[in-house]
Amino acid sequence: MFGLARRESYGDLVSETAVSTPDPRRWRALAVTLTAGFMSLLDVSIVNVALPSIQDGLNASVAGTQWVVSGYALTFGLVLVTGGRLGDAFGRRRMFLVALSAFVVTSGIAGASSSEGMLIAARLAQGIAAGMLTPQNTGLIQELFHGAERGRAFGMFGATVGLSTAVGPVLGGLIIAGFGDEGWRWVFYVNLPIGLAALVLAARWVPTRPPARRGVVSQLDLPGMVLLGLAVLGVLLPLVQSEHGGLTTLWWMFPLAAGFAWLFVVWERAVVRRGRMPLLHPRLYTSTPGYALGAAIGATYFCGFAGMWLVFALFFQQGLGYSPLESGLLVTPFALGSAVSSALAGRAVARWGRTVTLAGLALVVVGIGSIAVLVPLVPDAAVGYAMALPLLLGGIGGGMVISPNTTLTLDRVPTSMAGVAGAALQTGQRLGAALGVAVLGAAFHAGVTDGEGYRTGLVAAMLCTVAFTLVAMTLAVLDARRHPRRRLTGQQPPATREGPLT
């Protein structure tokens, strides 16, 4: 199926690179894995519109219903790197099937919940399953696709990320409207038929590869997993609880997170010196061309990208009195623009490299900046129409950022590290998203006084998005200057004289 393979080393990273004809099932496998990935990412945002129904249906507290959202985001981000490492070690097909099965089961439990505590526990478990599932997508793309095809595959992946984020509120609103009081349960139940179909098709189409090595269980970096998990927890928990005073009451977790991150780096270097398998190889950041800057670009962009949707929902629903469905429909131009441009940008990145990302970031600045200019000038009845074109322009730009940046960031990563490298990239994006929600939410609320000033709040939040995007653009310019002739290779780094990973 994969034919003969050659062994290549980059620094002390080793990869097995297939040299035979690509697997003929690769596009079908990609379609199935992206469908599952879409479900897991959709559940980050789709539940927001169901919170009032959940509160009424389960007689839940406001704090409890917020944990239905934040608990999922928390555990999702916590296990991404661990999920990527397990996929690299045990085989991505195996991990994909296990994680998808767990996601389907926990979705069913969430839908059938009879109490607030049961639903929160189900959402925490569902987030763990999603965090284990998501890294297998990027790992499989690295494994199955090469050259220009890899750019196309990541273009589809970028479209999936953009659509899942923007479509969630619309789909959630439709489900609530269609099923009435019990509609919140179907927000979770909708995953069951899709997930079961994906399981059957994945078992047929996703190719099997043997685990990375024998005795891998004894070599798993469990202390590294714990240290990194504590570091990520220390950052994520205050941020996801920022709407309920998390930054004020849990500020002390940030210095603890910095301490755990330092211990993690020290430990990983010690693991490498002993010739064992680290959780996250330090040379991934220090010796893989473009990886560190690409990860920083992605995290910074997500600070502005993810926070917008909360602000738009608050502005339209609380400020203008729109329904959740109407609010979601008004921001669909961004999703449509992102879906189209992601696919096209995935093809263009093979030729134009980092220039595609720079052009996309510029369009985001123009689109979102235009919203900040227009909103104070138009009447309430015309706000949605006035924002449509800028949102479309911003969406086109956003689609030119996510997939090309993912492609370029992972292009020189050895295949044996593809899962954990993609997971680390997505962990940065989750952290960026949580920070962005906190910052944009704070900026919005700072502009709203006694039920007024919603326009001022929206303008302040949009300017924050522009600022984050400009920082991401600066990092992209720096990366372009460091690699002025960089193009997508789809190949592993050339062999060096340095030793292997273990």
Q: Which residues of 229-250 are buried (b: 16+ CB within 10 A; e: fewer)?
A: bbbbbbbbbbbbbbbeebbeeb
Report in angstroms the alpha-carbon separations of 278 from 86, 225, 250, 405, 409: 12, 9, 30, 25, 20
Average pLDDT over residues 139-155: 80
Give dist(CA 348, CA 259) in Å, integer: 41
Main-chain dihedrals φ then ψ at residue 13, nearest 5 degrees:
-100, 135
pLDDT band at 218, cuts 50/70/90?
Answer: low
497 pLDDT band, cuts 50/70/90, is very low
pLDDT score recorded for residue 493: 43
Q: What whole-number distance in Å separates Cα of residue 358 and Cα of residue 425?
A: 19
Structure confidence at residue 496 as a pLDDT band (50, 70, 90): very low
Write down the pLDDT at residue 118.
Answer: 93
**Encoded tokens for 25:** 């099932």
pLDDT of the residue at 406: 86
Candidate ranges 15-19, 45-49, 255-259, 489-493; pick with highest mean pLDDT:
255-259
Q: What is the pLDDT of residue 474?
A: 95
At residue 370, the pLDDT reads 95
Range with the largest mean pLDDT of 55-69, 320-334, 366-380: 366-380
The predicted structure's pLDDT at residue 200: 92
And the tokens for 357?
């990302």
Closest-CA residue to 292 (of 305, 274, 304, 280): 280
Q: Regarding beta strands 13-18 and 5-10, do their DSSP bridges make them parallel or antiparallel, or are they unpaired?
A: antiparallel
CA-CA-CA-CA torsion sign (469, 340, 166, 432): negative
Phi first, then psi, for residue 435 (nearest 5°) are -65, -40
Distance of alpha carbon 295 from alpha carbon 416, whole angstroms: 19
Q: Would the pLDDT of 498 be above 50? A: no
**Domain ranges (residues) in the chain:** 24-208+277-482, 232-276
Q: What's the chain's Rg over C-alpha atoms?
A: 22
* Fold classified for 24-208+277-482: Growth Hormone; Chain: A; (1.20.1250)
Closest CA relative to residue 211, chosen from 89, 87, 99, 98 = 89
CA distances from 19 to 1, 27, 383 (A): 11, 18, 55
Q: What is the pLDDT of residues 174-192, one digit of tens each?
A: 887 788 777 889 989 989 9
Q: Which residue has the higher pLDDT, 61 or 127?
A: 127
Of 373 and 419, more confident:
373
